[in-house]
Amino acid sequence: MQPLIRFATKDDAPAIMRLIQGLADFEKASDQVVITAEDLVRDGFGADPKFKCYVAEMRKGNPEHNEFQIVGMALFYRRYSTWKGPTIHLEDLMVQEEFRGQGVGTALYRAVLTYAHAQNLRRVNWEVLDWNTPAIDFYEKSGADVLKEWRVVSMDDKALSAYLNS
């Protein structure tokens, strides 16, 4: 069965939050999630949305039932490249473990890339952990370049405060 891919609504925030926590658990960073479903609603579905999000739905249980559950998501936002102009950053693409290998991730990935192409954007960027070889293999097979010579740089709020107060 093919997943139904659609843009998320504010009512999807609890399911998106569950997927975000699942991704943090998978990446062995369970304690690093500080946002809430309320933050997602405010930041993604208010007057000035900071992101867009696709969700993937699959039918629950019996194929005769018309009830669906959210089993994956792809959250992304616009940014600006000094070399390419407007681009998209794919922040997270996550599929519940029991639904992996069923085309859900591919459908979400394709939806984000289709959106970028329709917007005439010149690039889509994202990060992947170096130990996540299935994802790396998938991305490379799709034609994406996994840039080994670049390093992701990050400064959390504590480091930001420490630096600015030094």
Active site residues: 139
Yes or no: say if 70 and 16 are a contact pair by the CB < 8 Å rule. yes
Helices (H), 35-128: 37-45, 104-118
The C-alpha atoms of residue 68 and residue 119 are separated, in whole angstroms, by: 29
The C-alpha atoms of residue 121 and residue 83 are separated, in whole angstroms, by: 12
Q: Whose CA is closest to 117, among 147, 83, 93, 86?
A: 86
